[in-house]
Structure 1
């Protein structure tokens, strides 16, 4: 299984968060959901999980820009 990465810099957020999470997909999903809820004030649910899952990329892939045109801003 390939390692995945989620990078908060790709989603506009009021916290100016720069966290990057890398690991196996299930590990990254758990950590990213916990982070989104505890730091960004998001509500855990299918929409949040789909948004996070869509933002995952293979480890080492280049950043996709700001992400503003793809996802709503996290708080």
Structure 2
């Protein structure tokens, strides 16, 4: 089983968030990403949010040296 991740540094944000989350499954990652989006970025849980987050998933683990917005 390979890891999947999402990296906030890929998205423009007023918060300048540098959090990257990874998990062993897309469903686990999605739940963690939704909770992060709600708690830190003040998003509301919705099907649209979940779909948008899933488009940002990558296989593997986040790189250590990713620049913001890269």
Q: TM-score range by the shorter chain?
A: 0.7 to 0.9
Give the corresponding residue for 2:20: 20
Aligned counterparts, 1:1-75, within 5 A:
1-24=1-24, 25-60=26-61, 66=69
Within 2, Cα distance between the matches of 1:23 and 1:44? 20
Q: CA deviation at 1:2?
A: 2.3
For structure 1, the 5+ residue unaligned runs are 68-75
Give the CA RMSD over aligned residues.
Answer: 1.9
TM-score (norm 2): 0.82
For structure 2, the 5+ residue unaligned runs are none
TM-score (norm 1): 0.77
